[in-house]
Amino acid sequence: MTQLLIVYHSRTGGSRQMAEAAADAARGEADTVLKPADQAGPEDLLAADGYIFCAPENLAAISGVMKDFFDRSYYPVLGQIEGRPYAQMVCAGSDGENAARQTARIATGWRLKEVQPPLIICTHAQSPEAILAQKTIPQDQLNKCREIGAALAAGLSLGVF
């Protein structure tokens, strides 16, 4: 059975909900591993056949914990995971585009294959209180995350990617 690795970081719950929704939908089609970014590393990337990266955008960039995962993992797997499929999801307060660009650049360096455009879910959190508050992602938005998880897992299990 193929393995899908979902690496996420979440401080206020939004990205965690997104990653969990994708993982729930992927199970059954692929062996699905859901790991917080601070617990994931090169060995997880090497063991998986495809990836979903999910993180919040903080101050117009990917979260520091997710960046740390990429920093710790980048060189140890360079040249060993080329061609594997990936998707990404971003939980943002306003636009999320820069975080998506940063992740895409890292994935390009690894020579991963993007299988769909980034999913950016905007919470519209603009005040300090709203930004720091626990998030609840609406079901219609979580359904988009489920679609990504199911599609990537199915593509892996069918050998499409």
Cβ burial, residue 99 (10 Å; 0-12/13-18/19+):
buried
pLDDT score of 142: 98
Span 110-143, pLDDT tens digits:
999 999 999 999 999 999 999 999 999 999 999 9
Helix, strand, or coil here: 21? Answer: helix
Residue 49 CA to residue 153 CA, distance in Å, equals: 10
Q: What is the DSSP string of 51-109?
A: EEEEEEEETTEE-HHHHHHHHHHHHHHTTTSTT-EEEEEEEESS--HHHHHHHHHHHHH
Helix, strand, or coil here: 27? Answer: strand
The residue ranges of every structural domain in the chain are: 3-158
pLDDT score of 4: 98
pTM: 0.97
For residue 6, how far is the Cα from the chain centroid?
Answer: 6
Q: 3-158: what fold?
A: Rossmann fold (3.40.50)
pLDDT along the chain (161 residues), means of 10: 96 97 96 98 98 96 97 98 98 96 98 97 94 96 98 96 90
Q: Are strands 61-62 and 50-58 parallel, antiparallel or unpaired?
A: antiparallel
Where b means 16+ CB within 10 Å and e means fewer, 50-74 reads: bbbbbbbbbeeebbebbbebbeebe
Average pLDDT, rounded, for the chain:
97
Residue 51 CA to residue 94 CA, distance in Å, equals: 25
